[in-house]
Amino acid sequence: MEKGVRISLGMLIVLISPMLSGCIGTDSFTDLGLRHGIPGGLTLACLDDSTYTSMVIEIDYEPGYQPESSSTDLLKERLDSVCKKPQGIELIFTETDFVNEDIWDANDVRATGWEEKSHDPRDGSTLYWQVIFPAGVYEDDSVLGVAVDASTISIFKDSIDDAENFLRRPSAEKIENSVLIHEFGHLLGLVNTVYTSPEDHEDSEHPGHSNNEDSVMYWAIESSSIANFFDNELPTEFDIDDKKDLQGLADGTITCTDQLWKP
Ligand SMILES: [Zn+2]
């Protein structure tokens, strides 16, 4: 009788253990960021066309939170100018009910983003990057947008609307234009996230950002204090140093780290 129980327990453990290790393995793989990566973790996949010849930007928005067409047109233009995608860059818009309409943290953005992704970020010869436009605000409500991993961004339109001052200089639309391109700049590894620039253009007080207020990567772009720094005209372009960094990463003269894929 006793022996029988032991055998059953043993069998049970044998049966359960592969399932356990499978789940834990998958989870820790994710936790280590080996699947999600860090912002900039797919920079080379974007700058190089030896494997990924086309790109899709997936835009998932809560009803009423569709991005301005001026924002997404500019985004396509900027990505076309730096990413090497001979088969083109396509934007796909999907109205989505995100359930959470309140307060978001980075984990919420990542989890929701991955639930809604239509493809793995690297699928066949296509690279998929995604931006969600949810209702609600980031836990630090001075944040207008965040890049949470190698392929996932969130833009907080409610906070962008709040950042517009009564003169509408700059307008919420212009702020959104710049914030959207700024966050995609983080997916491109700007500034110094997955490399070290030969130029001294990272803001020492705001790591990962430009010290040039004429660059879209200027730190104040994604902050609700944006209207204190700019009067109407906001940068929507990468500056010469940002572009030189991307060029150096593309041609291999600047070493790129933390990549989910390398040519
Ligand atoms: Zn930023």
Residue 107 belongs to domain with CATH number: 3.40.390.10
Q: Could you list which residues have their CB under 5 Å from ion ligand 1?
A: 222
Q: How remote is the CA of residue 202 from the centroid of ligand 1, in Å?
A: 11
| 107 in any annotated domain | yes
What are the pLDDT digits (tens) for 205-248? 999 999 999 999 999 998 988 888 888 889 999 999 999 999 99
Token pair, residue 106, equals 């980075």
Element (H, E) at 149: none
The 10 Å Cβ neighbour count of residue 144 is: 28
Instruction: Classify the C-alpha dihedral 181-182-187-190 as positive or negative.
Output: positive
Residue type, 128: Y
Q: How far is the CA of 218 from the centre of ligand 1 (A)?
A: 8
Nearest to 207 by CA among 76, 74, 198, 217: 217
Q: Is the peptide bond prior to 170 cis by the omega test (within 30 degrees of 0)?
A: yes
- Establish if 75 belongs to a structural domain: yes
SS3 202: strand
Burial of 33 (0-12, 13-18, 19+ CB in 10 A): middle
Q: Please, which residues have CB within 8 angstroms of residue 71's CB and are 6 or more apart in sequence? A: 173, 176, 177, 180
> Which structure tokens are listed for 125?
């010869």
Q: Which amino acid is at 231?
A: D
- Tell me whether residue 3 is in a domain: no
Give me ligand 1 centre to Cα 193, in Å.
11
Compute the distance from residue 208 Cα to the ligand 1 centre, in Å.
7
Tokens for 128? 């998929």
Residue 260 lies in a domain: no
Counted domains in the chain: 1
User: Per-residue pLDDT for 11 more than 60?
Assistant: no
- Digit-coded pLDDT (tens) for 103-141: 999 999 999 999 999 999 999 999 999 999 999 999 999
Report yes or no on 10 lying in a domain.
Answer: no
Contact 138, 156 (CB under 8 A): yes
217 belongs to a structural domain:
yes
Reading phi first (left if > 0) and then psi (alpha if -120 to 50, else beta), residue 6 is in alpha
* pLDDT, tens digit, 9 for 90 and up, residues 142-163: 999 999 999 999 999 999 999 9
Please give the C-alpha separations between residue 252 and each of 106, 154, 195, 205, in angstroms, as whole numbers: 31, 30, 11, 28
Mean pLDDT of the chain: 89
Q: Is residue 13 part of a domain?
A: no
Q: pTM here?
A: 0.87
List the domain range (segments joined by +) for residue 193: 37-251
Q: At what angle do helices 172-187 and 69-82 cross, to 10 degrees?
A: 30
Residue 219 is assigned to a structural domain of this protein: yes
